[in-house]
Chains A and B, each alone.
Chain A
Amino acid sequence: MPAVGTSARRYEGPEKLSGRALYLDDHDIPGCLFGVTLRSEIPRGRIKNVVFDRAFPWSECVVATAEDIPTNIVALIEDDQPLLADGIVRHALEPIALIAHESREKAYEALRFVRVEYEELPPVLTIEDSLSRREILYGSDNVFKRYLVRRGDVEKGLRESPVVVEGEYRVPHQEQAYIENNAMAAWWKDGALTVMGSLQCPYYVHKAMKKLFGLSDGQVRVIQATTGGGFGGKEEYPNMIGGHAAALARKAGRPVKIVYDRSEDMAATTKRHPAIVRHRTGLSRDGRLIAQDIQVLMDGGAYVTLSPVVLSRGTIHAPGPYECPNVRVDASVLATNTPPNGAFRGFGAPQTLFAAELHWEKIAAATGIDSLSLRRKNAFREGSVTATGQVLKESVGAREVLDLAVGKSGYLKKRSSYKRWNRDPKKPCWKGIGLALVHHGGGFTGSGEVYLASRAAVSIGRDGLVRVLAASTEIGQGTNTLFSQIVADALGLPRDLVAIENPDTAKVPDSGPTVASRTCMVVGGLLRRAADDLRSALLEAAGGSIPQSRSKLRQAAVRLCAGEKERRFEASYEPPAGVHWDDKSYSGDAYAVYSYAAVAADIEVDKTSFEVRVRKITTAQDIGRAINPLLAAGQVTGGTAQAVGWALYENVVMKNGRMTNPQLTNYIIPTALDTPPMDVILVEKPFSGGPFGAKGVGELPMDVPAPAIAAAVHQATGILIPELPLIPETLHRYHDQTQRQR
């Protein structure tokens, strides 16, 4: 019986349920010290002096500073970020020094005995501030990266449009709020470094360690411990904390473990990029798009980190899933003196798609055509051409997901009945239902996958054990289970004969990072090809049929291995035929394929408290073939809950460049009681380039609920609030303003 398409049991489920799975802090490492981080108190300044108070017994500690790092650079895209601040701090909570002690409590206590003296410099804390160039933090203009996407002639298009609609939208930070905080351990032996921890991308950490300590490939080993969630928050930050553990371990001559507590993790590590997005849209009187002129500004924080690629995805998704002959997207990410913003599920797309989708509400008001008809008129179909000039050849489910979400939610009926309801001033609440439609490209942007040149392998041992060898990490999303299903079916073996090797750079090839909705679609595709090769070899060794029992498989494996311990079949990335991308003009096939999602959000706003309650989310999502429908629905449900949090609750309060509410008591993520009931419909339009027709699903659900909720609030209150989060205070402020104007 094929495994693909079934809701097969989670590969690591029993380990986690029984408590046997070991997270980093569960590992008892002999002789291990505990490391803590001394961080900047101010957003910008020169370090004049670091004073270690003699009242503390410093001989019990190991202390590391910038001087102890051979190459003080955290390797990502640019080389601008130090592992430890050297003379200057560029954001609050920037690491300045590290302290290790045998006792965790003593290590934290030691921090109270260090004082940093600064010469403060004027900080740049917002996008507007950075744009004003009052202070220059980076390059000549504070711009980390700029992209320009052009199609047709926007100015001409706007001039010729009978209707032009302008809008400005703002979206805030968001904290990933994974269950397990960042945690890494490191130890050295004979000049070689091993780093273990909670991470998404073993080979990113591998590359960073080589650079920091001047090591060769073979001198660094990175092992993933069981990881309690990532959501992008463990894409780049493990380079930092892993480097810290390694630096302390190097100086101490003993293993060192660093485990953040919740406050440190929330305040110091990466968040979603805040953004300002401006639209100028030209349309015909019957609502057809003629021109889209879009400006995107993102707050990158103090260092480049991954901002250029976050901006890239945001740029390409900015026009939404609609065909328009004239498009210009002018996008920049700017430097500020705040902790660097980074990867977070959706990676720039939720920011720009919020603007694109909520803008339909404004267009609907201006044209008198409802937003559903407008979307239907303009949405992608097969053969549509995107803003980057990509022709969508297959697997375009935009219209289907829209119609399904509309139909299943009773959108049209509710839209009109809520209109009547809201006219009655005696009702205790206002009601609204709102729509959004989005796309999300699977895999790295543009030529990204070509540069990554990922590899993945399947091996068979003399013992007959089939192993999946990939650097893709299980972070709660189901990597292990999907890979075992794909490989089992490619081989024609029962799934329980397929084992997954733990991501460990000493054992698995570089399959690229576990990000960008690429694990199933791209790495799963590599595994399928590797497994096909193993299958051919196995068929030959077994005399024409695949053995179905462990013992028969073992006999064939012995023949196949021919005296070796194992036989390994590896596949490396090859771009699909006919896919072209030009980095210079930023045009061409931005992604191999897109997934699509629509949401109808049914909400109530309490007239007493201005609280928004989501009564129901109805969503249809075209993700290609669902390898494991239950896991896929889980991604949709979880991503929707996370997006409801971003839309309605999560409010990073920044003061002088520092988060003032870094606790789960005051940074509000939805609980089960705040998470709405959901109707999830999976639409499976197969993609010929994915394993068994699969596309990406990880990020798509994060893109779509927020603008639908904002549109519903618009119907309920009559106010279009162009910002997030829609906390009651914000609704009250807008409501109050509107009342005063009347």
Chain B
Amino acid sequence: MEFLRPRSVREALETFQKTPGALALAGGTDFMVGWNMGLLNGKTVVDLSRIAEWKGIEAGKTGVRIGSLVTHAELQRHPLIRREFPLLVEACALIGAIAIQNRGTIGGNIANASPAADTFPSLAVYEAVVHTASPQGRRAIPFLGIFAGPKKTHLRPGELIEAIEIPYARPRPSAAYFRKVGTRAAQALSKTVAAGLLWLSRGKTVAESRFALGSVAPTIRRARKAEDYLRGRKLTAETVGRAMDLVEAEIAPIDDVRSTAAYRFAVSKNLLKEFLECRPR
């Protein structure tokens, strides 16, 4: 295995241009799994950990810009993130275990494109934007637009994630919801993972709702049909039930070694219900 360690963004982009097919290494938490299984033998690896420009969190007027190499642990500790994006903090606190949270990065998590990634539902409902850099220039891609399938993104060869921008949710939501249903309390992969934001109008009707689910389709899903349906309606047992039915049509879970499609359907609907009922757990 060849191991390259660029010191700047420019060097990194050049390195990828010179060695097409090289693998980017950020925190390495999923990378190490593949390495252990012998899947990376003979590959060239580009370690991004020396790129200081991608390690900061900057507060702007309309949102925050998070460097792609910021770790899950750093996100949890950051006062602004804690105040503005509690769903991201909750998600980061449930990734793997503390050691993984110390190593894993938000950019690496996105580039890895696991359908089960725990931060994705939160980033989806906050409507994050992914900023990339490549020798051809910079791009801003809406979060949901970056994923092409399980473990696949629309990033071009040699294109790297440099930051994630998240707009502040204004007005502040009436309710925010995150829940990971994993295989156990820690060191767990998600069977279903959900995040939701809800804005209620004065008449207790839904002004807007956003609900996203992970692990139940090839990529992260926003429950658009349910969201559209709920707009302007009161949250009665009947409307909640109808929204749950609509969610069912928007996801495509499978049977795998971790769970079953039937269970994932049922729990996805229940999570929406729990979100809409704002029931404390």
Binding site for B on A (CB under 8 A): 108, 428, 606-611, 649, 653, 660-661, 665-666, 668, 670-674, 728-729, 732-733, 736
Contacts and interface: CB of A to CB of B under 8 A. Distances in A.
Nearest to B263: A729
Interface stretch (B101-109, B165-173, B271-279): B271-279
25 contacts: A428-B274, A428-B279, A428-B281, A606-B281, A607-B270, A608-B181, A608-B271, A608-B273, A608-B274, A609-B181, A609-B270, A665-B189, A666-B189, A668-B183, A670-B184, A673-B186, A674-B186, A728-B181, A728-B191, A728-B263, A728-B267, A732-B263, A732-B267, A733-B263, A736-B262
B268 to A, nearest CB: 10
Contacts of B266: 732, 736
Contacts of B257: 653, 660-661, 666
Contacts of B184: 649, 668, 670-671, 673-674
A670 B186 CA distance: 9
B83 interface: no
A728 B15 CA distance: 47
Interface residues of B, number: 28
Nearest to A667: B257
Contacts of B181: 608-609, 611, 728
Interface string B226-266: 00000000000000000000000000000001111011001
Contact of A671 (B33, B186, B262, B263): B186
A428 B186 CA distance: 22
Given A728-B181, A728-B263, A732-B262, 7 more contacts: A608-B273, A610-B263, A649-B183, A671-B184, A672-B186, A674-B186, A729-B263
Contacts of B271: 608
Per DSSP, chain A at the interface is loop
Contacts of B188: 668
Contact of A608 (B183, B262, B267): B267
A5 B215 CA distance: 52
A665 B187 CA distance: 8
B77 to A, nearest CB: 21
Given A428-B279, A609-B270, A732-B263, A666 B185 contact: no
A732 B181 CA distance: 14
Contacts of A670: 184
Contacts of B191: 728
A407 to B, nearest CB: 30
Q: Which of B183, B188, B271 has the most CB of A within 10 A?
A: B183
B203 interface: no
B145 interface: no
Closest 3 CB pairs of A and B: A673-B185, A608-B270, A661-B257
Contacts of B185: 671, 673-674
Contacts of A668: 183-184, 188
A670 B184 CA distance: 7
B38 interface: yes
Nearest to B36: A261
Nearest to B270: A608
A331 B177 CA distance: 52
Contacts of A674: 184-186
Contacts of A729: 259-260, 262-263
A607 B185 CA distance: 17
Contacts of A653: 257
Interface string B26-67: 000000010000100000000000000000000000000000
A684 to B, nearest CB: 34
A165 to B, nearest CB: 31
Contacts of A732: 262-263, 266-267
A606 B271 CA distance: 11
Interface in B178-202: 179, 181, 183-189, 191
Contacts of A610: 263, 267
A611 B192 CA distance: 13
Contacts of B274: 428, 608
Nearest to A645: B184
Contacts of A611: 181
Contacts of A660: 257
Contacts of A671: 97, 184-187
B183 A733 contact: no
Q: Which of B38, B187, B271 has the most CB of A within 10 A?
A: B187
A579 B272 CA distance: 64
Interface in B110-148: none
Nearest to B273: A608
Interface in B68-93: none
Nearest to A609: B181
B187 to A, nearest CB: 5
A671 B186 CA distance: 7
A609 B267 contact: yes
Contacts of B281: 428, 606
B62 to A, nearest CB: 35
Contacts of A428: 274, 279-281
A728 B182 CA distance: 10
A169 B168 CA distance: 54
B262 A733 contact: yes
Nearest to A672: B186
Contacts of B259: 729
B80 to A, nearest CB: 29
Nearest to B181: A609
A732 B262 CA distance: 9
A612 to B, nearest CB: 11
A55 B97 CA distance: 43
A108 B97 CA distance: 30
Contacts of B33: 665
Nearest to A659: B257
A668 B183 CA distance: 7
Contact of B258 (A666, A673, A733): A666
Q: Which of B271, B273, B274 has the most CB of A within 10 A?
A: B274
A242 to B, nearest CB: 26
Contacts of A608: 179, 181, 267, 270-271, 273-274
B202 to A, nearest CB: 26
Contacts of B258: 666
A653 B260 CA distance: 12
A596 B271 CA distance: 43
B167 to A, nearest CB: 29
A725 B273 CA distance: 27
A609 B181 CA distance: 7
B17 to A, nearest CB: 31
A300 to B, nearest CB: 25
Q: Which of B179, B185, B262 has the most CB of A within 10 A?
A: B185
A674 B186 CA distance: 8
Contacts of B280: 428
A493 B179 CA distance: 59
B269 to A, nearest CB: 10
Nearest to B264: A729
B267 to A, nearest CB: 5
Contacts of A733: 262-263
B279 to A, nearest CB: 6
Nearest to B257: A661
A733 B274 CA distance: 20
A607 B179 CA distance: 14
B99 to A, nearest CB: 13
Nearest to B33: A665
A656 to B, nearest CB: 14
Contacts of A666: 183, 189, 257-258
Q: Which of B33, B97, B258, B273 has the most CB of A within 10 A?
A: B258
Nearest to A429: B281
Q: Which of A607, A649, A665, A733 has the most CB of B within 10 A?
A: A665
A609 B180 CA distance: 10
A721 to B, nearest CB: 15
A224 B73 CA distance: 42
A733 B267 CA distance: 12
B113 to A, nearest CB: 18
Nearest to B38: A108
Nearest to A666: B257
